[in-house]
Structure 1
Amino acid sequence: MSERPFMQLYVSDFIGDTLHLSTEQIGAYMLLLMAMWNAGGKLPNDHAKLARVVRMSVKKWLAIKDDLLGFFDVGAAEVTHNRLTKELQKSERKSQSRADAGAKGGSAKALKDKEARLANAMPELQHLPDTRVHIEKEEPIGSSKKRGSRLPADFKPDFDFAASIGIDHSRATAEFEKFRDYWNAKPGKDAVKLDWPATWRNWIRNARSCGPGTRSPPSFSSTAKAGQTREEYLAAERRRSDRSFQ
């Protein structure tokens, strides 16, 4: 029997971190995570092999890889995932703990009680703004740092990256205004990210690929109704955005 019978996935956080991905890209991301889990936390940095993992042609894989590999740590020879590695280590520690308890004649109930006490002793992390009290909890696979935050007031977008993918400074500045309004209007944990620079890069990539049937969040000045305040506009946009994912 496998020592790792399941891979834990925190669904709400996973969905929140992958809103910018297409259905096809989300499927490819999940296949990479599951293959990496079964392989002990590493995959070869080889496009042909990674294309086979996600069940795509090499040409198709090369077209989407930039949007997916941003979630991973890419080395010269291997691809790893920070959170998945931590989950594997935790799984191995639990397995070893159970084996040690069995060897010492400990009962299953005693082990369960011990784990419950340890869990209760750990503070629980809530994805809330940094100005509020944080209680620590486990983070999902798909996150790159231990703690998230709302968009910092002094966040500086990487305009050089936007320029490198063909978006001029004027358009990148307009996109940043939409980016800032959108995430400032988001409530609760939906507006908490572990890597804001990566979130910006994914946003600007999505803006580059916008075409018929695709849009980025509208700005206040272009769509607000006459007499509508900025706060009313953002609240209406938030309700509209939430309905679109129901």
Structure 2
Amino acid sequence: MYPTDFEADTSHLTLAEDGAYNRLLRLMWMTAGCSLPADDAWIMRRMRVDEDTFYTVVKVVMDEFFTVQKGRLISPRLAKEYQKTDVAHKKRVAAGSKGGAAKALKTNKSGSTNAKAMLKQPEPEPELIKREAKASPKKAHRLPENWTLPKQYGDWAIEQGWPDQAVRLEAEKFRDFWVSKAGRDAAKLDWLATWRNWMRNSKTPKFSAITGGHNGQPANKSEQRVTSFVSGARGAS
């Protein structure tokens, strides 16, 4: 745009008409062939205006600055600028093509003397890329028939509060259950985790219920009465 020329030709337009004119020019410039369909309904939708605005603003600008040729709305001044730009672009493309061809020809001539020598040179052998061995995936396996409770398993259970006697009992139950179990579920990836879940789900009580109560005392009142009775009977004898 040439601001001085543009202002001289459009200074009589209202602000709305000036905006409509600028938008029409931009739409044309972005469209192949630098023209728009001479279709009022299409232009109305593309300009995003209602019918009243179209006929009182856009249509006024179209009638003054644009012409219709072969069903297309064009701006004679814009078409000339577009043509200049298109020609200049084609010239740049043509010049670039010629320059590239000349450069390729020059390279070809200068390199022709070395062509035979280059052909005699053996091609370098491709480097061998060492692939890291993938770690073999962990496989599930059954519990061995001669399984005994590992120290790690027992230590964990005792730390959780089960007395030694209860841990031994659960270990026997654990071995008998999994050794005799059939099917795919009998194989496990992590037997330590299986043991932990086994103990968590176990109904064997912790602490005093197995050892006989706190400090060796009976765990419930019924046992306390029996113990007192036995003790009394021994004292009387």
Fold-level match, TM-score > 0.5? no
- Report which of the two has the higher share of helix: 2
Give the structure with higher Rg (CA).
2
Q: More relative contact order in 1 or in 2 (CA 8 Å, sep 6+)?
A: 1
Give the TM interval when normalised to the shorter protein: 0.3 to 0.5
With the length of structure 1 as denominator, give the TM-score of the two structures: 0.37
